[in-house]
Amino acid sequence: MRHVLAAIIILLIGVQPVAAQDRATLVADSVTVVSGTALLAEGHVEIYFKGQRLTATAVRYDQTRNRLVIAGPIRIDDGKGDVFLADQADLSADLTEGLLVSARLILGQRLQLAAAQIIRSQGGNLTAMRRVAASSCTICVGSPIPLWEIRASQVVHDAAAQQIFFSDAVLRFFGLPVLYLPTLRVPDPTMKRATGFLLPALRTTSTLGAGLKVPYFVVLGPSRDLTVTPYFTVRGDRTVELRFRQAYTHGNILIDGAVTHDDLGPANPRGYVQAVGAFDLGNDYALSFRSITASDPAYLSDYGIDASNQLDNQIGLTRVRRDLNFAATLYGFKSVRPADDNSTLPSSITEMTYQRRFVPDILRGIADLSLGAHGDYGTSNLPFDSNGVGLADGRYLARLSFAFDWQRNWTTKSGIVISAMSQAASDNYAISQDAVYNGTPQRLSGAAGLELRWPFIKSNAQGVSQLIEPVVQFVTSSPPDPAIPNGDSTLVEFDQGNLFSLDRYPGADAVESGTRANLGLNYRREDTNGLSFAATAGRVVRLADLGQFSGASGLSGKKSDWLLAWSLANKDNLSLTNRLIIGDDLTLTKGELRFDTVNSFVNLSGGYEYLQADLSEDRPDIASEIVFEARRQVTGNWSVDLNGRYDLRAGRLAASGLLLDFRNECISVALSLSRSFASSTSVTPSTDFGLSVELLGFGGGSAAGPTRVCHG
């Protein structure tokens, strides 16, 4: 018969008064008062005190010493996520100080430290261990050697500082010593951020050779930190990378950069600086910025930082509400392509848009009132086009625009949906340093349209629903203005999103003109088993060809090319999308196919893209490429990522990458391999190899993978 003695405060914690919640509870098979100052509890002993829980075979309490002598097996849960296991113990009555023999400490349910003895002091904040083996790996009976462990002569855990200190530490893999460290300090599992070295990373490239990165993390306060990463290569290149982070109540900033001494660039030192930030200003306003600069065009590519062809700098202010959209952005551009002369390109662009949606009292329907401003300029003073890009090298252009859009729908008794729509705009320009376009031209433009949709919907008893919807849209627009240069609408896409549109130009400099009919047919099928299919076919027929669009756009001529688009999706997370722009002679102008699938076997995405050659779109040759990306969870611990881009015209890979990742409860290993085949006078083809190993179980680490399962 078990006895429960609640609130035996005098025997367990002395004679000092305590609150009711500080009282101890003892549960045991038998409890015997040995003398006036001693108590012996035996058989399935459990003690609960201040959130702590002790289980043992026998506990003897000596009131004169205010100590507990405990026989194991012993388990102490300290109520903070840490667990002590031991064979014997001599502890203070509150369980926070004393000696545990043949003990084990489990921190944060992840890191285990087995020791010959453990001494707790300073109210449980300091734990000293002798002859220690530490690991977060699961150890099976038939395989007692962990994947990795750290053996040390002494280990001290400072719970207040959230740090673990090792003395005479040896890192072992599969029982074999690989690294000796006289002293080692690591954060305990509760620590999220701590000053110290992070795990090194190995990087090898065909350009730089093998190299080692050793990052050092510095905590500068509760909301900011700095990471300093020396990077050394076997070629003798020396780099120091810096990353500073600052978090605010309503935003954050990140500043990173590097300084390098090598023999790859035109001069030394080489490097870059980048700053990124975002802030919530309240009242739905948001501020964001990004700034980057580099010492030379090839630096970012050489060191795997950024492979783009230009440096983009911007700062923007936005405000988005249900009926309002505001954005103001300042852009700065610098090309890193050796063929580009930045003095002949626009280096600064300012954009501002304000859009308000409302319901007009007289017209009803939905109306949008917009205000826009734009300005761009470069550093050149030449008033003509010297590089064939279509605009004067030194052109300065400013534009102020006002626009009004309106649409209203009616539905007839027969189910025909009639839509009336219109738009009007006023664009006011100031142009200088341009031999062709100059002065302050003004443009008043407008468009009106009438659209008829007749949806036919059918459902059957099996729950399959189908929609067939012929659409006819008649549009007439004001004629083009030859005094206005086209700087922001040179690339035009023709797709199902703008087939029925009053204006297909993406920017404001060009306005689609003339009288035309937009003709199309929409089809959609929905099944109860999750299968859905949608398709759109259509074209644009014009009263006259005004020569506004390039041949590659698919919109040139009195009759545009045919647009054929469809998409398919099922409940098994498979989706296919296809868009084709085809001429009357079935010649392909543009084509793209995308696929995505997510299942238990593989995550796969990719596609094919074909673009007709067009000098007006800066594409002298046909573009024909296949892109793909696959991720396979081979086992619970192993995953493989594969990606690539294949140029069908050149008959070779343009880029490829491979990532092997292993992760279990105690270690994460990532092996990456990538190859870039692009080349120029400043950027050469390169292969990049990377290896990172992370021991899990310490503070601030990555998430653990599946735990090893013991068999037998």
- Taking only the tens place, the pLDDT of each residue in 49-83 is 988 999 999 999 998 888 999 998 999 998 888 99
Range scoring the smallest mean pLDDT among 241-255, 271-285, 405-419, 653-667 = 653-667
Q: Which of 295-299, 392-396, 422-426, 648-652 has the highest mean pLDDT?
A: 422-426
CA atoms within 13 A on the CB side of 627: 11
**Which of 159, 256, 177, 231 lies closest to 699 in space, CA to CA?**
159
Statement to judge: residues 602 and 627 lie in one domain: no
What does the pLDDT read at residue 389?
A: 67
Domain boundary among 169, 194, 219: 194
The reply to whether 524 falls in a domain is: yes
Give me the DSSP letters along 141-199: TTB-S-SEEEEEEEEEEETTTTEEEEEEEEEEETTEEEEEEEEEEEE-TT-S--SEEPP
What does the pLDDT read at residue 14?
A: 43
Q: Which residues contact 585 (CB under 8 A, 6 or more apart)?
A: none
Per the model's pLDDT, the better-predicted residue between 450 and 697 turns out to be 450
Statement to judge: residues 452 and 562 lie in one domain: yes
Q: Is the pLDDT of residue 682 over 50?
A: no
How far is Cα 708 from Cα 404, in angstroms, rounded to an integer? 65
Average of per-residue pLDDT values in the chain: 89
Range scoring the smallest mean pLDDT among 2-11, 401-410, 480-489, 526-535 = 2-11
Q: Is the pLDDT of residue 18 over 50?
A: no
Residue labelled with tokens 């294949």: 646
Statement to judge: residues 516 and 477 lie in one domain: yes
Statement to judge: residues 590 and 626 lie in one domain: no
What does the pLDDT read at residue 3?
A: 43
- Are the C-beta atoms of residues 155 and 665 closer than 8 Å to each other? no
The reply to whether 409 falls in a domain is: no
Strand ranges (E), 438-547: 442-453, 456-459, 465-477, 514-526, 532-542
Range scoring the smallest mean pLDDT among 8-12, 43-47, 317-321, 401-405 = 8-12
- Taking only the tens place, the pLDDT of each residue in 78-116 is 888 899 999 999 999 888 999 999 999 999 888 999 999
Going by pLDDT thresholds of 50, 70 and 90, the confidence category of residue 12 is: very low
The reply to whether 308 falls in a domain is: no
The reply to whether 134 falls in a domain is: yes
- Taking only the tens place, the pLDDT of each residue in 521-534 is 999 999 988 899 99
Q: Which of 120-124, 203-207, 379-383 has the highest mean pLDDT?
A: 120-124
The reply to whether 330 falls in a domain is: no
What does the pLDDT read at residue 205?
A: 83
The reply to whether 119 falls in a domain is: yes
Q: Is the pLDDT of residue 212 over 80?
A: yes
How distant, in Å, are the alpha carbons of 41, 465, 467, 578, 648 from that of 460?
76, 7, 12, 28, 45
Q: Is the pLDDT of residue 2 over 50?
A: no
Percent over 70 (pLDDT), the chain: 94
Statement to judge: residues 601 and 465 lie in one domain: yes
CA 32 to chain centroid? 63
Give the domain range for residue 475: 446-612
How far is Cα 310 from Cα 297, in angstroms, rounded to an integer? 9
Statement to judge: residues 599 and 709 lie in one domain: no
Statement to judge: residues 20 and 77 lie in one domain: yes
13: helix, coil or strand?
helix
Average pLDDT in the 277-283 region?
A: 96
Statement to judge: residues 37 and 129 lie in one domain: yes
- Are the C-beta atoms of residues 406 and 421 closer than 8 Å to each other? yes
343: helix, coil or strand?
helix
Neighbours of 444 (CB within 10 A): 12
How distant, in Å, are the alpha carbons of 64, 239, 271, 307, 334 from that of 213?
58, 9, 16, 20, 29
Statement to judge: residues 549 and 698 lie in one domain: no
- Taking only the tens place, the pLDDT of each residue in 423-438 is 999 999 999 988 888 8
Strand ranges (E), 612-707: 623-633, 638-647, 652-663, 667-676, 686-695
- Are the C-beta atoms of residues 490 and 506 closer than 8 Å to each other? no
How far is Cα 160 from Cα 192, in angstroms, rounded to an integer? 14
Domain boundary among 584, 612, 640: 612
Q: Is the pLDDT of residue 418 over 80?
A: yes
The reply to whether 592 falls in a domain is: yes
- Are the C-beta atoms of residues 448 and 513 closer than 8 Å to each other? no
- Are the C-beta atoms of residues 218 and 207 closer than 8 Å to each other? no
Domain boundary among 612, 639, 655: 612
Query: What six digits make up the tokens of 136?
Result: 């977060």
Cis geometry, peptide bond prior to residue 269 (ω within 30 degrees of 0): yes
Going by pLDDT thresholds of 50, 70 and 90, the confidence category of residue 712 is: low
CA 447 to chain centroid? 41
The reply to whether 272 falls in a domain is: no
Q: Which residues contact 289 (CB under 8 A, 6 or more apart)?
A: 275, 276, 277, 278, 314, 315, 316
Statement to judge: residues 596 and 629 lie in one domain: no
Statement to judge: residues 43 and 146 lie in one domain: yes
How far is Cα 579 from Cα 563, in angstroms, rounded to an integer? 7
- Are the C-beta atoms of residues 400 and 373 closer than 8 Å to each other? yes
What does the pLDDT read at residue 454?
A: 96
Statement to judge: residues 52 and 142 lie in one domain: yes
**Count of the separate structural domains present in the chain:** 3
Whole-structure pTM value: 0.78
